[in-house]
Chain A
Amino acid sequence: MNPGLPGAGIGGLFYILSALWMPICELWRRRQGNAPGRWPLVARQFGIAVGIIVAMSGVFWALDTVLMLQQVAAHAAGQMHAMWILRASALAVTSGVLATVLGTVHVVRLCLRLSTVRHAAR
């Protein structure tokens, strides 16, 4: 079973960032002296994350090229607008939404903890 829609939306970005964070996390764990050597896993997942970033950069480059051709050939305002929506939603909005979702999780968690502490105090 696989919850969510793999590849779509903020999930992809979340796992890319988590994979990019793994080497730093692994270094920290080694410094603490409590981590078994998991560098092969770290290297593999870090490589996948970098590969995805490169692949998506390629997509944006291709879109830019197509966009330029469109400008020259068609002057289609609607299509220009559509391309802008695609690009914006793919990066800026996704990052903002991910930050908002993760931030909300922490806010809810803190609210619950405060509520528990208050109940315990009574």
Chain B
Amino acid sequence: MENLVTRRHPSHVNPPRESSVTAADLVMGLTVIIPAYNEAEFVGDTIRSLLAQTVPPDQIILVDDGSTDGTGNVGRRAGITVIRPPHNTGSKAGAQTFALPWVRTKLVMAIDADTTLEPTAVERLTHSFEDPGVGAACGFVLPRRIKTLWERGRFVEYLFAFTFYKQVQEYYRRPMISSGCFSMYRTDLMRRHGGWPGRTLAEDMDLTWTFHQTGVGVRFEPEAVCYPIEPYNFRFMRRQLRRWSHGFIQNITLHWRGVLTVPFLRSAVAVALWDAIVASLVFLIVLPLLIVALRSPWLLLAYFIDAPAILVPLVIGAIPRREFGRTLASLPSFFVLRLVNGFYFLEAVWSEWFLRRSSLTYEKGH
């Protein structure tokens, strides 16, 4: 494997002084940052997938964030730049921001250490930046492994949301989140914002909402597909759901005034919040009480009465991917995941808004 860094940018291996780098110093091209903590098992696939792109990045930086499993060695063997902070930065946002001073290209991409890409993903995502008003772009996300109940539930959730919700958001030029597992940004913009913010547990949502409020364009490119490893058991899923739920509530607390000024986004956020709270209450408290009070098993239908509505975008998304059978087989898992998701949303609302206990401990959950 060739060493892209030493071949193309030999002077960039040493850490530069951030203050010395201006927007004018940035050169055309793309740098990829891979934040990693104990990802030796998966990061090799991520690097190989990046090097196999139709438009390969000019530089790949692996941030070995205090790993103890030899993650950095995987990167060194692949010939990419490996940097290691003096101590664990505590979050993905921290690791990515640590790497930002090394970036000398006009575009920078962040990708999770357990995520692989379609060979054309980088090329397609780069096209979004032909519009000078665009500051961030993200792609279509699908789980790489679809075996367990949790992975299947997530597969259906992503296929549904990225086929329908996210594309509607894209039409109105307001994608709600430029997904943290695979997103591209203008480097000078990221520098101006001080990197990826670590003030919430959902740095991708924080950044996207900040961009929308400041008039920076965010795009969703459905043909740029990435495949992260999703939580395969309840322990990891619980961590991820807690992080996302708390992150969502924290971002609403932080941005609500600003979001109100952004057309479409304000409505999308309001309905998402309403559903996260009220639908969760209905599923977890109201319906069980009604079923007992009315002694009617018919009310159980309410848990999956929207199955046909969910199936329509699923079928449209699954057929071109030839995953119709797997999608149908995975549908029941989605309803289980939705219930568990509802529980963690309510827990996050209770903890963040009623108990005033803001969780900022980043727990890795894939």
Contacts and interface: CB of A to CB of B under 8 A. Distances in A.
Asked if A pairs with B, the answer is yes
B295 A78 contact: yes
A3 B204 CA distance: 12
B260 A86 contact: no
Given A51-B312, A52-B312, A45 B167 contact: yes
Interface in B273-300: 273-276, 278-280, 282-283, 290, 294-296, 298-299
A55 B311 contact: yes
Q: Residue among A3, A8, A15, A45 with the most chain B CB within 10 A? A: A3
Nearest to B181: A1
A121 interface: no
A105 B15 CA distance: 47
Interface stretch (B20-28, B80-88, B170-178): B170-178
B281 to A, nearest CB: 10
18 contacts: A1-B177, A1-B247, A3-B176, A3-B248, A5-B342, A10-B274, A10-B275, A18-B172, A44-B316, A47-B316, A55-B312, A56-B308, A59-B308, A79-B296, A86-B298, A86-B301, A102-B271, A104-B270
Contacts of B158: 2
Given A55-B308, A56-B309, A59-B308, A45 B168 contact: yes
B270 to A, nearest CB: 5
Instruction: For the complex of A and B, list the 10 residue pairs with the smallest distance between their C-beta atoms, beginning with the closest.
Output: A4-B272, A55-B308, A82-B296, A9-B275, A9-B279, A51-B312, A8-B279, A109-B260, A11-B275, A14-B271
B254 interface: no
B1 interface: no
Interface residues of A, number: 50
Given A2-B161, A7-B160, A86-B299, A112 B260 contact: yes
Given A6-B165, A105-B266, A22 B275 contact: no
Majority DSSP secondary structure for residues of A touching B? helix
A108 to B, nearest CB: 6
B205 A1 contact: yes
Interface string B299-338: 1011001101111110010000000000000000000001
B48 interface: no
A9 B202 contact: no
Contacts of B290: 82, 85
A59 B247 CA distance: 35
Contacts of A89: 302
A81 to B, nearest CB: 6
Given A2-B158, A38-B171, A89-B302, A15 B165 contact: yes
B342 A82 contact: no
Interface string B147-174: 0000000000110110111011011100
A56 B306 CA distance: 7
Interface in A72-116: 78-79, 81-83, 85-86, 89-90, 97-98, 101-102, 104-105, 108-109, 112
Interface of B: 157-158, 160-161, 163-165, 167-168, 170-172, 176-177, 179-180, 202, 204-205, 244, 247-248, 257, 260-261, 264, 266-276, 278-280, 282-283, 290, 294-296, 298-299, 301-302, 305-306, 308-313, 316, 338, 341-342, 345
A83 B275 contact: no
A48 B170 CA distance: 15
B306 A8 contact: yes
A27 interface: no
Given A3-B248, A44-B167, A105 B283 contact: no
Contacts of B345: 5
A109 B261 contact: yes
Interface in A1-55: 1-12, 14-15, 18-19, 22, 25, 38, 41-42, 44-45, 47-48, 51-52, 55
A9 B274 CA distance: 8
